[in-house]
């Protein structure tokens, strides 16, 4: 809480005494519900406020959509889209699916499925769902940032949050991590919503059970919630219990609810698998040797800088200015984190939770086996949490006087708009990018559809992306090819993640072609050695299509685990 958070006198009282209120108070007074205020005026002011916030949200969503179309959807995102397609078509347990170490089952997949019901399966729905996910995360961050503030301060804090979230999007690699296929940034929604509940409605009768449900759903989607949100809530609620010296309290109920969510999610996941639900890759929840921690600290710091955009990217919009803005955002977030540590005893629950979330997310990542120079997605929750702390640290709860209010709004609005406009100005990707080299699969998809080739096999990065782009009209299923020691004989197996075992059943489907990426790891000879000589071979852009007169799944099925 800031010193200026107390209630002010009513506008009428100040008028009677001859005191002229500051401009910011005039704005707040229009929406104040004091006994002397006119109901019609209050209602009209509230409607304008709601309209302004809704309009700002829609405008921000339009920017996110445009930025998303400047990125690309690869096979990781395509597989999530196909899972969402199955989910909204009645396959609630996703039977047959072998999903990665984060399922995104309770948030991104349903959101993607809803977009598919409206716009159909394809790139458009994927981009719209990704943009909406980021918008929801931004909205949750803004809701936490504006707590205990009013008037101009709320708008300024929101502008700072948007700025921190948008600056990384000036570089294409960060667009892929933050704004394309489902990734750990969407997990921030569960973390922020649970923090909102603990901070804003801790005494409600439903808060503890609702918190347990939110955390359980979050862990079902991504175990990051277990290692970040759950311990943060347990620690903060435990501290509040000790500070108040009350064992039976609202904090005790919330802490117990957070702790109970862990075994509850484990039981739920076990039950889903028992009744035929999807299986998933075990998360890399392992500690690394302590001797590696200093090296991991350096890599983690690099990943955090990448996450905030505080690195130089050759093709980034705004060039070096983008890196400078990223550094400003990162330093502001660090200042907010330092402020929470310095004022811990008087900090709000939200600030304590956000500070601990950053520490737990970075700390668990640092001592695990996961740190890599391109692993910023693993600490994605640090970005919105840091944005909130930066906004709360830089902007007081109330900005009084027109001399301060107008420049503050103008400056922060400009600060948010510049990166938004620059990121949205990136040319849209005309076609979905399928391989790691970024080659557009549109020519391949169009050629296969024109030649009535509807089911085949190919490398992972050339498979589901074509399936998504064609709206399921052309289906390519991923296979892995591995040479022996002498690289003279190739063997095939099924990727152990993001695939559906039912795809490879020869009694259900007939695969009559294979796709070899000229720039990929599997040469044409690898497919020919395993499947035999094709009936015909066709070069299509950067791919070679091998056509057969038999069902290739008959050879693939025995390789299923």
Asked whether the predicted pLDDT for residue 440 surpasses 80, the reply is no
Mean pLDDT over the full length of the chain: 87
Q: State the pTM of this model.
A: 0.88
pLDDT band at 314 (very low <50, low <70, confident <90, very high): confident
More confident residue, 224 or 429: 224
From 396-400, 425-429, 438-442, 513-517, the region with the lowest mean pLDDT: 438-442
pLDDT digits 0-9 by tens, 441-464: 889 999 999 999 999 999 998 899
pLDDT digits 0-9 by tens, 485-524: 554 556 666 777 889 989 999 999 999 999 998 888 888 8
Give the Cα-Cα-Cα angle 332, 333, 334 (nearest 5 degrees): 90
Q: What DSSP letter does each residue of 245-275 carry, written as one string?
A: T-SSSHHHHHHHHHHHHHHHHHHHHHHHHHT
- Helix (H) or strand (E) holding 492, with range, is strand 490-493
How many CB atoms neighbour CB 421 within 10 A? 13
pLDDT digits 0-9 by tens, 323-347: 999 999 999 999 999 999 999 999 9
pLDDT band at 475 (very low <50, low <70, confident <90, very high): very high
Q: What DSSP letter does each residue of 139-160 carry, written as one string?
A: HHHHHHHTTT--THHHHHHHHH
What's the pLDDT at 10? 39
Coil, strand, or helix at residue 456?
strand
Both tokens of 444, joined, read 């391949």
pLDDT band at 181 (very low <50, low <70, confident <90, very high): confident
Asked whether the predicted pLDDT for residue 80 surpasses 60, the reply is yes
Q: What percent of the chain has pLDDT over 90?
A: 63
What's the pLDDT at 25? 43
What's the pLDDT at 495? 75
- Which among 117, 133, 116, 131 has a CA at the least distance from the CA of 81? 116
Both tokens of 384, joined, read 């919105």
Mean pLDDT throughout 223-242? 95
Coil, strand, or helix at residue 513?
strand
Q: Cβ contacts of residue 305 below 8 Å, gap of 6+?
A: 311, 326, 330
Q: Cβ contacts of residue 545 below 8 Å, gap of 6+?
A: 444, 447, 448, 453, 456, 513, 514, 515, 516, 537, 538, 539
Both tokens of 122, joined, read 């394809």
What's the pLDDT at 281? 85
Per the CB < 8 A criterion, the answer to whether 545 and 447 are in contact is yes
Strand residues in 369-479 grouped as ranges (E): 455-458, 475-478
Q: Which residue has the tokens 């990121």?
A: 423
pLDDT digits 0-9 by tens, 249-273: 899 999 999 999 999 999 999 999 9
For 516: left if phi > 0, alpha if psi spans -120 to 50, otherwise beta; the answer is beta
More confident residue, 339 or 407: 339
């Amino acid at each position: 809480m800031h010193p200026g958070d107390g209630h002010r006198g009513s506008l009428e009282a100040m008028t009677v005494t001859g005191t002229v209120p500051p401009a910011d108070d005039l704005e707040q007074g229009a929406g104040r519900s004091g006994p002397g205020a006119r109901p019609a005026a209050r209602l009209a002011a509230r409607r304008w406020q709601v309209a302004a916030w809704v309009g700002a949200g829609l405008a921000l969503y339009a920017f996110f959509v445009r930025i998303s179309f400047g990125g690309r959807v690869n096979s990781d995102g395509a597989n999530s889209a196909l899972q969402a397609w199955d989910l909204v078509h009645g396959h609630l347990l996703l039977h047959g699916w072998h999903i990665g170490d984060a399922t995104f089952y309770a948030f991104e997949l349903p959101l993607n499925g809803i977009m598919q019901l409206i716009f159909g399966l394809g790139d458009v729905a994927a981009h719209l769902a990704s943009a909406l996910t980021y918008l929801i995360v931004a909205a949750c961050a803004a809701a936490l940032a504006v707590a205990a503030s009013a008037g101009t301060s709320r708008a300024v804090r929101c502008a700072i949050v948007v700025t921190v979230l948008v600056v990384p999007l000036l570089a294409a690699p960060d667009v892929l991590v933050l704004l394309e296929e489902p990734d750990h940034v969407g997990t921030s929604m569960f973390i922020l919503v649970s923090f909102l509940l603990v901070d804003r409605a801790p005494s409600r009768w439903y808060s503890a059970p609702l918190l347990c449900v939110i955390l359980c759903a979050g862990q079902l989607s991504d175990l990051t919630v277990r290692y970040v949100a759950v311990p943060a809530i347990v620690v903060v609620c435990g501290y509040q219990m000790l500070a108040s010296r009350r064992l039976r309290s609202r904090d005790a109920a919330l802490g117990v609810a957070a702790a109970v969510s862990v075994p509850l999610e484990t039981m739920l996941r076990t039950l889903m698998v028992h009744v035929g639900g999807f299986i998933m890759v075990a998360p890399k929840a392992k500690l690394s040797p302590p001797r590696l921690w200093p090296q991991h600290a350096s890599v983690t710091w690099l990943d955090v800088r990448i996450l905030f955009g505080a690195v130089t990217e050759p093709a980034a919009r705004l060039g070096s200015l983008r890196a400078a803005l990223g550094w400003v955002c990162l330093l502001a977030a660090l200042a907010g984190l330092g402020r929470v540590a310095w004022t811990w005893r008087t900090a709000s629950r939200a600030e304590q939770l956000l500070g601990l979330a950053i520490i737990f997310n970075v700390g668990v990542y640092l001592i695990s086996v996961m740190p890599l120079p391109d692993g910023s997605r693993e600490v994605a929750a640090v970005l919105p949490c840091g944005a909130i702390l930066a906004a709360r640290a830089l902007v007081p709860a109330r900005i009084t006087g027109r001399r301060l209010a107008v420049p503050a709004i103008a400056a922060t609005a400009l600060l948010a708009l510049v990166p938004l406009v620059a990121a949205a100005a990136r040319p849209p990707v005309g076609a979905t990018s399928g391989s790691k080299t970024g080659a557009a699969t549109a020519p391949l998809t169009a050629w296969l559809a024109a030649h009535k080739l509807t089911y085949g096999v190919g490398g992972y990065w050339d498979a589901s992306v074509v399936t998504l782009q064609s709206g399921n009209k052309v289906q390519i299923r991923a296979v892995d090819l591995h040479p022996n020691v002498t690289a003279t004989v190739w063997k095939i197996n099924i990727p152990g993640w993001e695939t559906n075992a039912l795809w490879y059943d020869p009694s259900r489907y007939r695969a009559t072609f294979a796709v070899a990426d000229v720039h990929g790891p599997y040469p044409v000879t690898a497919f020919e050695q395993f499947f035999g000589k094709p009936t015909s071979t066709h070069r299509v852009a950067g791919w070679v299509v091998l056509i057969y007169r038999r069902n290739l799944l008959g050879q693939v099925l025995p390789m299923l685990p």
